Structure 1
Amino acid sequence: MTTAIPSAERIRQPLVFGGLPEAEGFARVPITPRDRVHFRVDRELPLAEFRADLPDAVTVSFDAGEGLYRVDGACGQGPVLADWIRAWCAGRGITTVGLRAEADVRRRAPRDLPPAFLDDLCRHYGPVSLKRLQRNMSTIRLHLPDPDDLAQQVAEWILKAVGQYDETKGVPFGAFLATQLSKWVHDLGRAAHGRTAADTEHKQQKAIAAFVAEHQRRPSEKELAAYMGQSVATLRRNSQTVATLNGLRNLQSLDGAPDAAEVLIPDSHEAPDEIMGEAEQTLLSHALTAACAPDPAARPEQRAGQPNVLGWATWYLTTWGGVTKTQLSAELGTSVRNMNVHADRVERALKTQLAELVD
């Protein structure tokens, strides 16, 4: 004979953060609509001055990892704010990239929640999120090999979910966070290497995994093309894109310290001209890689604190790979303007590297 469990014991008790039940904490700071302007710039804005000049009740946030600025105002203000931002930046010689206004964006500011509530919520959902992400860990390690970087990224994702969570939908926050985490993991590849290349790799890997599960072996080129509903020529072209993507990931020198590696070159009086020509190419390649490496003085979450992979690809493939920026833009699924922003960063650093070589 089994003993029935009282219904009150079967119901999971609500989570309590900072003395507030989870639902009540979100209800205190409801999600609200606003107009938002997204944009990037060719060099970082003087944020203090920018905030001081913004119209009343308009706020700005900066995502250092993506180099993306977000300006929020009241509904209906989007087009006016976009024009104001263009004029403000132009007056200071700053070029905006991908500026666009988005209407009726529903968000909340995490900082508006009670501090103790937000602190306990992040402390609770951090380990929960890491456990949920175990199935995506092979992908995550390609972009975040350091456990500390992963922990920081998970904390940022939790805060991002807090900002987007709509408590009126009737879905618990934990369930909303779980669905978003997988999407944001996929976005890591898109942000680093371009939407088209990352999506192509993702589709190929899913198809290969499905074929292996069904046939217990890897597919041939023809079998994979048929499985994906593509021609062999299309599959080969897409496979080249994936190979390029993996090659860029394997540039270990971008994550290391290229300046610490000694480059040995022969004495020009004893070496033939062709060897010296190769040595000069080696030095130039070394300088380009060093110019794309993370700035050790920058924080890891800042754009300068991350390897400039897109800038390296733009310079290398258009200079030595025989590819135009238009072709590379289509290949990587990113705009030429975005490529130019990253390439300009390389140019500034490369000038310093080359000046040191000349000296």
Structure 2
Amino acid sequence: MSDIFATASSTLDPRARARQPLVFGGIPEAEGWALAPITARDRVHFRVDRELPLDELRADLPDGVTVSYDQGDGLYRVDGARGSASVLADWVRAWCARHGCTTVGLRAETDVRRRAPKDLPPDFLADLCRHYGPVSLKRLQRNMSTIRLHLPDPDDLGQQVYEWVLKAVGQFDETKSVPFGAFLATQLSKWVHDLGRNAHGRTAADTEHKQQKAIATFIAEHQRRPSEKELAAYMGQSVATLRRNSQTVATLNGLRNLQSLDGGPDGTEILLPDSGEAPDEIMGEAEQTLLSHALTAACAPDPNARRDQRAGQPNVLGWATWYLTTWGGQTKTQLSSDLNTSVRNMNVYADRVEKALKDRLAELAE
């Protein structure tokens, strides 16, 4: 009789149920990770000024070397054996040069611990994604206001969540005695924050995050928004520093609100005043509006390019480089520091703008 009650108690105890291992594709989770253990390799990260022929690159790679392409970030990763990082970096530069491509931000990294999701049993991986996809969406509800700034389409959000699950699969180290679910939960918040960093620069995104967090905490404590002096004191900054950082945040929000970068700027009609009746000041403003419109149109996605290609995405960094150095009174060095990116990288995006802008200005001159 005592055994019956013990069994019933064990069945009803939620802690007992929680200890039951998850099974994916007929394989317990712990055993599935063991089938494709995480391994160390050297890796070269890089971007290029135009899309590479991946099939040709894979065919030319040395034995034992693989390449992957992150379409969302436009980032290539070449993986090889430990100790080969510098050799791989030289090989990538030479290969790209032979094919008329220029590498951007090439970086060699040693002793990277990763697994390829494709090395896991297919049924195991499919069931794992089906389980952790909805779990991740629920976990991300607290971050949804931030996520919608970058992924307003529910389909895009769903795809991004599963990409994050696969990214966690590749990085999860089963030897550290941390459950995969806990590891995934900690990474999700980090990756949500990276959405803003990737779109608008690390420094600007971090500044906005700190300010919004401080304002929210102040409101919770005092049931009102802080004044400028109160917010500066709360954050341990001078008012001058707060104002400078607030300008960075305002620039970031302005970039987000440039709907014409995503929504067909050429479809927007611009009404111009009659030059015979309007004063010179208004005509000067009209010409600046036309120039600003031409700049924004030059940074819009190419309608003939795929969304995963660089040309198929809004050129936000190119727009910021041109606008803030032309009208914002900033040098490229200052802007590089604010956005935490190199001047060389800014020039790559600005050159794309220049080519498109010349065509736009030629149309305006006609």
TM interval, short-chain normalised:
over 0.9
The correspondence for 1:241, drawn from 227, 244, 248, is 248
Match of 1:159 in 2: 166
Q: Per the alignment, do residues 289 and 53 of structure 1 end up closer, same or farther by CA in structure 2, a change over 3 Å counting?
A: same
Aligned-partner SS, 1:80: helix
Deviating more after overlay: 233-242 vs 279-288: 279-288
SS of 2:21 mapped into structure 1? coil
Deviation digits for residues 64-89 of structure 1 (CA, Å, limit 9, x no counterpart): 22121111000000011111112222
C-alpha contact 2:38 2:113 (8 A) present in aligned 1: yes
Question: Counterpart in 1 of 2:70?
Answer: 63
Of 310, 323, 348, the match for 2:317 = 310
Structure 2 match to 1:227: 234
Aligned with 1:251 (options 258, 272, 282): 258
2:89 corresponds to 1:82: yes
Structure 2 matches for 1:1-359, cutoff 5 A?
A: 5-7=8-10, 10-12=16-18, 13-265=20-272, 277-358=284-365
In structure 2, give the amino acid aligned to 1:255. Answer: D
User: What is the CA distance between 1:272 and its match in structure 2?
Assistant: 6.9
- Uncovered stretches (5+) of structure 2, i.e. residues with no partner: none
Q: Pick closer, same or farther for the CA change 1:119–1:189 going to 2, 3 Å.
A: same
Q: In 2, Cα distance between the equivalents of 1:50 and 1:358? A: 43
1:261-281, Cα deviation, whole Å (9 max, x unpaired): 223445767877665554443
Name the SS of the counterpart of 2:269 in structure 1: coil
Aligned residues: 357
Q: Is the 8 A contact 2:321 2:350 kept in 1?
A: yes
CA distance in 1, matches of 2:139, 2:171: 19
In structure 1, give the amino acid aligned to 2:215. I
Q: For 1:132 and 1:103, how far apart are their aligned partners in 2?
A: 32
State the alpha-carbon separation in 1 of the partners of residues 69 and 116 from structure 2: 13
Contact 2:74 2:308 in 1 (8 A): no
CA distance in 1, matches of 2:305, 2:161: 20
| Separation of aligned partners in 1, 2:330 and 2:292 | 17
For residue 38 of structure 1, give the secondary structure of its aligned residue in structure 2: strand
Encode CA deviations 1:123-163: one digit per residue, 9 max, x unaligned: 21111111000001111111111111111111111110010
- Identity of matched residues, %: 84
Distance (Å, rounded) in 1 between the aligned partners of 2:197 and 2:44: 21
Which moved further from structure 2: 188-197 or 313-322?
313-322
Aligned-partner Cα distance in 2 for 1:298–1:112: 32
| TM-score normalised to structure 2 length | 0.90
Kindly state the Cα deviation for residue 307 of structure 1 after the two structures are TM-superposed.
1.8
CA 1:124–1:214 in 2, change beyond 3 Å: closer, same or farther? same
Per mean C-alpha deviation after superposition, the further-off stretch among 321-330 and 88-97 is 88-97
Q: CA deviation at 1:206?
A: 1.4
Tell me the amino acid that sits aligned with residue 52 of structure 1: A
Unpaired runs of 5+ in structure 1?
Answer: none
The two structures have a TM-score, normalised by structure 1, of 0.92
* Secondary structure in 2 matching 1:351: helix
**Equivalent residue letter for 1:195:** R
Deviations 1:20-79 (A, max 9, x none): 222222211111100001111222222222222211111111112212111100000001
Instruction: Mark the CA change 1:22 to 1:226 in structure 2 (over 3 Å): closer, same or farther.
Output: same
Query: Shift in Å at residue 194 of structure 1?
Result: 0.6
- Kindly indicate whether the alpha-carbon contact (under 8 Å) linking 2:51 and 2:309 is maintained by their aligned counterparts in 1: no
